[in-house]
Amino acid sequence: MKKYDKLYINGEWVAPHGQGESQVINPFNDDVAGVVPQGDQQDVDNAVSAAKAAFSSWSATSPEERADWIKKLADALGARMKEVASTISQEMGMPISMAELIQAGLPYTVMSSYVDIARNYKFTEEMGNSLVTKEPIGVCGFITPWNYPLHQVVGKVAPALAAGCTMVLKPSKEAPLNAFLFAEIVDEVGLPAGVFNLVSGPGSVIGEALAGHPDVDMVSITGSTEAGVRVAQTAAKTVKRVCQELGGKSANVILDDADLQAAVSAGVQQVMMNCGQTCVALTRMLVPESRKDEAIAIAKATAEAATLGDPAQEGFHLGPMSSRQQAKGVKDYIRKGIEEGATLVIGGAEDPEGFEGGAFVKPTIFADVTNDMTIAQEEIFGPVLCILTYKDDEDAVRIANDTVFGLSGAVWSQNQERAVKVARRLRTGQVGINGGGFNPLAPFGGYKQSGNGRELGEYGLEDFLEVKAVNLPKAS
């Protein structure tokens, strides 16, 4: 068990002003995986003051210097990837083999990517008689989730460092241990005091304080749409920039000429990864009416091959949900789907055999789903797939776009040009074509109620920059 009793503020581990502590529960066995302190408004004030004081010197460093610091962080993170994976697996239940690839591997990849981005980005350009400069926005507040916790931390911290910003991080209360491990790495490499600060505690206290703080220039949140709305409302009082990566209900559009076996099986596996606790999960599978039965049979067979198990064991299986509370919410949605008339193909709301009373949920697939059903419109955040049918390409696009969300999507066709044409019509931030993989250099973010702003790559850097025009006298 990891026990932390101090916060990381101004380059030091300091006793919190806030009282109390939070236990981090392993969702597989209900063991206490760790303990972290609960900060309060005063701790936020102290952290923001440290970040504000550090900003003048950090923002004045050259991009090359900042790239060197990011490289140090990436190297130190790489040296502790096994520890990162084990920590996150215990916090939120992802099986260790997947955690090593994703929960540890992805943050390392993203941190490393900003070394070259910081060195090569054009922070100044000439435009007529003007110099257009891109400067760090200032002190940033970060609010991060529990499903891919360190990836979301690094996805904000790395571009902020590259831009020349300073920051205060509030990690998820369900999975904060990885953030404390990251703060250890920051301390280990000797990042200048005040550039990175960590304050843990409930969102109703720490998140609210960051979002409303007059000395925080920008707040970035990854979380539910409800949380994003609340942060935006609070931040509006000080007219600060707000970047939000929020919910999703993404459509997987399988066109009538697609390789159905490949498309459906890949779609099921994508939804089940991390037990469906993925904002970009393709939870609405759209198939042609003429191929409905075939698609359902492939989906069922794919889900039947999925196994549940101990997240500490090597191998590619499903672990528990992140908590019993999360599992309960998913099971409630499954019951709602049955009540609304969807056909349960596999799975259900009962506890899986051998895992009674815990945080496990059966991989579940519904057919005969219509887009007005609750399970087709609301983000379930569990291993639940809805299969819907459509008449033609026009109908598929209409159904795919008929949601308040717009985070991700996919299109499958043996004609790539046709697939891209459909993808361009989807109102969503990213679309995979025929299984096209995640690109950590490409912009990531959503349309509509999936948020605003972009993360990753150069686009992620630009969210942390202000643009200034320096108008020079015209030559006579």
Residue 103, by phi and psi: left (phi above 0), alpha (psi -120 to 50) or beta? alpha
Q: Which of 36, 105, 11, 115 minimizes the C-alpha distance to 73?
A: 115
To 10 degrees, what angle do helices 177-189 and 81-92 make?
Answer: 160
d(CA 85, CA 436): 25
- Cα distances (angstroms) measured from residue 190 to each of 79, 183, 187, 196, 423: 16, 11, 5, 11, 45
279, 386, 455, 458: which is the annotated catalytic residue? 279
CB 315 within 8 A of CB 325: no
Indicate if 279 belongs to the active site.
Answer: yes
CB 103 within 8 A of CB 95: no
Q: For 273, what's the count of Cα atoms within 13 Å in the CB-facing half-sphere?
A: 18
Catalytic residue among 91, 100, 245, 379: 245
Q: Which residues contact 57 (CB under 8 A, 6 or more apart)?
A: 192
Are 361 and 383 a contacting pair, CB within 8 Å? yes
First-to-last alpha carbon distance for the chain, in angstroms, is: 72
Positions marked catalytic: 245, 279
